[in-house]
Amino acid sequence: MIEAVGLSKRFGTTLAVDDLTFTVRPGVVTGFLGPNGSGKSTTMRMLLGLDAPTAGRATVNGRPYVEHSAPMCEVGALLEARAIHTGRSARNHLLALAATNGVGRRRVNEVIGMVGLDTVASKRAGGFSLGMGQRLGIATALLGDPATLILDEPVNGLDPEGILWIRNLLKSLAAEGRTVFVSSHLMSEMAVTASHLVVIGQGRLIADSSVADLTAQASRDVVLVRTERAAELRGLLSQDGVGITASDVDRLIITGLSSTAVGQVAADAGIALIELTPQQASLEEAFMEITKDAVEFNAVVGSDR
């Protein structure tokens, strides 16, 4: 369980995180989404006591992170930038960190096996690929067998096999009743991993809801209709607030009316429909839709200078 209340962080004149309030519950994977530079990492660092909030407070498993006597056994953390000394072997890195909280050597070997680094555990971490570094970071997070996991961009730099591995790992950790809070700037990734989402943009909370609700909320009423009497139906549906475009002779795309309403009008007029499909916005579109005002760096594609 993670709770943030009125969390804010100011760097000079920039308000990186602005009055964030949210709760992350155990048992499901919660995605933490936002465009680059929206304050995700800063928020996670505040949850872990690395950055002091300018205002507000954050608790993990009921207490501020700093107040846990065995923090690694309460919360496992993976931070975006690599947090590994390049000159040390993976095993010694884990042994040193495990020692601080009294976690034993057996658990160190266990997590090395869990992330599949057995063969390179004695090699210097400086020679690791990005993917191996991420695996070592995840091993670090799992050391204390924590009830809560805070992972910043865990799929970064992983190959497809690694991404699949992370997805399954996160889901199984959540299924065990743990709190799993995962940040990403990739909606598509969260769509297949997370079931709840906290979305921020420019440091402010934009949405805190389930993936299903978010998709429904963001998808406007768009209905695709196919009928041989397209022109006739078009005439019947025309009214204020309804947009109709013909994409083909027998195809209409209708905005502003639900599929129920469109079907009713057609039935009343005795018009046979070949197809009637409500168009779901993809999660990606939903994300773009709700964050479009909050993107810090808007690129103009294909614009002339």
Which chain residues interact with other proteins by CB under 8 A?
Answer: 1, 25-27, 45, 48-52, 61, 65-66, 68-74, 77, 79, 81-89, 92-93, 95-97, 99-103, 140, 144-148, 176-178
Shorter beta-carbon distance to other proteins: residue 139 or 200:
139
Cα–Cα dist 6/288, whole Å: 25
* Least distance (Å) between residue 174 CB and other proteins: 10
* Least distance (Å) between residue 132 CB and other proteins: 15
* Least distance (Å) between residue 138 CB and other proteins: 12
Shorter beta-carbon distance to other proteins: residue 89 or 209:
89
* Least distance (Å) between residue 203 CB and other proteins: 16
CB–CB of 50/40 below 8 Å?
no
Shorter beta-carbon distance to other proteins: residue 61 or 255:
61
Shorter beta-carbon distance to other proteins: residue 81 or 301:
81
* Least distance (Å) between residue 177 CB and other proteins: 3
CB–CB of 49/65 below 8 Å?
yes
Shorter beta-carbon distance to other proteins: residue 26 or 37:
26
* Least distance (Å) between residue 295 CB and other proteins: 26
CB–CB of 304/208 below 8 Å?
no
Shorter beta-carbon distance to other proteins: residue 21 or 86:
86
Three-state SS at 271: coil
Q: What is the dihedral of CA 101, 105, 110, 111, to 10 degrees?
A: 40
Cα–Cα dist 26/48, whole Å: 17
- Token duo for residue 274: 């070949």
Sequential DSSP letters for 139-150: HHHHTT--SEEE
* Least distance (Å) between residue 115 CB and other proteins: 15
Measuring CA to CA, how many Å separate 294 from each of 199, 233, 288? 11, 39, 10
* Least distance (Å) between residue 83 CB and other proteins: 4
CB–CB of 72/103 below 8 Å?
yes
Shorter beta-carbon distance to other proteins: residue 57 or 85:
85
| Phi and psi torsions of 89, nearest 5° | -75, 160
| Phi and psi torsions of 157, nearest 5° | 80, 5
Query: Helices 90-100 and 105-114 sit at what angle, rounded to 10 degrees?
Result: 130
| Residue with the two structure tokens 């397209």 | 230
Cα–Cα dist 244/303, whole Å: 29
| Phi and psi torsions of 155, nearest 5° | -90, -5
